Amino acid sequence: MEDISTRYISDNELIQNFKNGDSNSFTVLYNRYLPLVYKIKRKYYFQDVDSDDWKQEAWIVILKTIRHFDGNRGVAFGYYFKRNLRNRAFDIIRHENASKRIRADKKVNIDSEDCENSLMDSSNHMPDEWAICCEKFKRFFASCSPREKRIFVLIHQGKNPQEVADILHCHYRNVTGALDRCRKKLNSL
């Protein structure tokens, strides 16, 4: 069998080769559209999907796209795959945002080294701005007491001060006081 990596083969030919049992054709096709996979990952924010999970989702989507693709309909495979992948991204976001599916016990480990990545979204920042932001956040978080950290994380997760007070079994004023101290620490950076 000829080495398919040495010459350009059309998407339709790769699809046909894959359907005939050539797994290398699938790998070539998937790698051809990997930049699109990364682009869509950067475009949308997923709470619970990391890069490896997203690549696996794309792998599944491209398999389904190949199975349902009909080259005689006048639609390019790349466009069809892009649509299917975007639709999968929307499904994931819709699932994450469904209020009945949000886990009430979803927590951020405030003791982990990677805590700032779980509290901040890097998708809207340039790399140098992101690095500065991470350093400031590390300094801020290091200056907080364990109680202030816990309150900050709960507020960041969308809880209001009264809910935080109920969760931590403390008075509402303790929560607002801790938030005021957090604001002052953030403003001093």
pLDDT averaged over consecutive 10-residue blocks of the chain (189 residues)? 64 89 90 92 80 90 90 87 93 72 49 50 65 80 87 86 87 88 83
> What is the rounded CA–CA span in Å between residue 8 and residue 21?
19
The secondary structure of residue 100, as a DSSP letter, is G
pLDDT given for residue 125 in this prediction: 60
pLDDT given for residue 43 in this prediction: 87
> What is the rounded CA–CA span in Å between residue 78 and residue 86?
12
pLDDT given for residue 189 in this prediction: 74
pLDDT given for residue 110 in this prediction: 47
Q: Which residue has the tokens 């006048």?
A: 74
Question: Per the confidence metrics, is the pTM higher than 0.85?
Answer: no
Q: Which of 50, 72, 101 is the last residue of a domain?
A: 101
Nearest to 44 by CA among 108, 157, 121, 102: 121
> What is the rounded CA–CA span in Å between residue 9 and residue 168?
61
> What is the rounded CA–CA span in Å between residue 84 and residue 123?
22
Do 173 and 142 lie in a common domain? yes
Do 51 and 95 lie in a common domain? yes
Do 16 and 91 lie in a common domain? yes
